Amino acid sequence: MSYTIGVPRETAPGERLVSLTPEVVGRLSKSGASVRVESGAGSASFHSDADYEAAGAELVSRDDAFACDIVTKVRPPDSDEIAKLSSGSVLVGFLSPLDKPAIAQELASRGVTALSMELVPRISRAQKMDALSALSGIAGYRAVLEAATLLPRFFPLLTTAAGTVKPANALVLGAGVAGLQAIATARRLGARVSAYDIREVVREEVQSLGATFVELEIEMEEMQDSGGYAKALVAEKAKQQTKLLVPFIGKSDVVVTTALIPGRPAPTLITQEAVEAMKPGSVIIDMAAPNGGNCELTKPGETVVHNGVSIVGSTNLPAEMPVDASQLYARTVLAILKDFTSEEGFTPNFEDEVFTGACVTHGGEVVHERVKGLLQSD
């Protein structure tokens, strides 16, 4: 018995990714799935309808794509999209359950089993399914390119007949996947790079990329949680941290901020005082803008100029590189589907820690404990 997988077109403003690429569709088709792609779903990521047909997909209407046994998406569904899903169907995608738990409640009421890509546990076996890390790496790379474009000077050291141009100073705040990629990219472009993270455990990774690890005179206990994320600082230490960062920010030409804790507002790392300590023409790329931003002057989705410093509140950097971003994302979705489908279709496995970590709704209920707690506290 064949099962159907639907690939609807993403309609969120600025979103250019597609959840499954023709390469992945071809692999699913060979495994026995019937893949139905909404016409035009891949156009923004440069995958034509003809590419999908050649891979074995059937081109369908939007309603038909959402009516499949399994539906794959990139962005969380809105209410109209949830209404198109069939009771008993499966939805796989980024669902923002910790930031927007009401979506989970809607999906449960619809009778949908929902797997949230951002809740895939960060364990070795699940690395192939870690969409968040895959896209974070792209975002870190793109952030530095954006900064290099905006900065009114060179990144690298240049020796010319007219004299020597000193390299730019770049500071990366947060050394997770995005931060490490930002460090590596800034180094490749020739900048002098330093980085700060409250987790001492990432020091060696920062230094292995040729960057200087910034040390602040502040006492830290173990600052990494079981999922590999930085823990939130208590208010007193957070205030102390921002004060101590001011001189490091002030001497930087470029600052890239990446500090995010799922389900919480982004911590403030850059105060107005710190921005005003920077030279005119300097650039801040705030990758935490979707959750409010690490800079207190950030406006999500906008570029703010304060005292000559550009503060870029990018909310979807992977969408600026839709070809590779779609390819990497689609492969993580494929890994999920391969683990939890058989010839008969979707096979939930609540004995599997990857499944239980990612599953938000099933059987008409919200089953993820943390998401349930958020709904009960509202």
Whichever domain contains 290, its CATH number is 3.40.50.720
Does residue 334 belong to any structural domain of this protein? yes
Residue 227 confidence (pLDDT): 54
**Residues 165, 45 within the same domain:** no
**Residues 337, 284 within the same domain:** no
**Residues 174, 274 within the same domain:** yes
* Contact criterion met (CB below 8 Å) for 257 and 290: no
**Residues 151, 256 within the same domain:** yes
As annotated, the active-site residues are: 122, 127, 130, 133, 229
Residue 239 confidence (pLDDT): 87
Does residue 372 belong to any structural domain of this protein? no
Residue 237 confidence (pLDDT): 84
**Residues 310, 338 within the same domain:** no
pTM score, two decimals? 0.92
**Residues 10, 79 within the same domain:** yes
Q: Token pair of 109, please?
A: 């009421």
Residue 192 confidence (pLDDT): 98
Q: What is the C-alpha separation between 213 and 195, in angstroms, rounded? A: 5
Q: Would you call 250 helix, strand, or coil by DSSP?
A: helix
Q: What is the C-alpha separation between 38 and 44, in angstroms, rounded? A: 13
What is the number of alpha carbons within 13 Å of residue 323 lying toward its C-beta? 3
**Residues 101, 198 within the same domain:** no
* Residues spanned by the domain of 359: 4-119+321-365
Segments in the chain below pLDDT 50: 1
**Residues 302, 357 within the same domain:** no
Residue 231 confidence (pLDDT): 57
Distances (CA, A) of 27 to 34, 54, 263: 11, 12, 34
Residue 233 confidence (pLDDT): 62
Residue 96 confidence (pLDDT): 94
- pLDDT tens, residue by residue, 328-375: 999 999 999 999 998 888 999 999 999 999 999 999 999 999 999 999
Q: What is the C-alpha separation between 3 and 63, in angstroms, rounded? A: 17
**Residues 179, 237 within the same domain:** yes
Our CA dihedral for 340, 345, 351, 352, rounded to 10 degrees, sits at 0
Q: What is the C-alpha separation between 358 and 378, in angstroms, rounded? A: 22
**Residues 67, 98 within the same domain:** yes
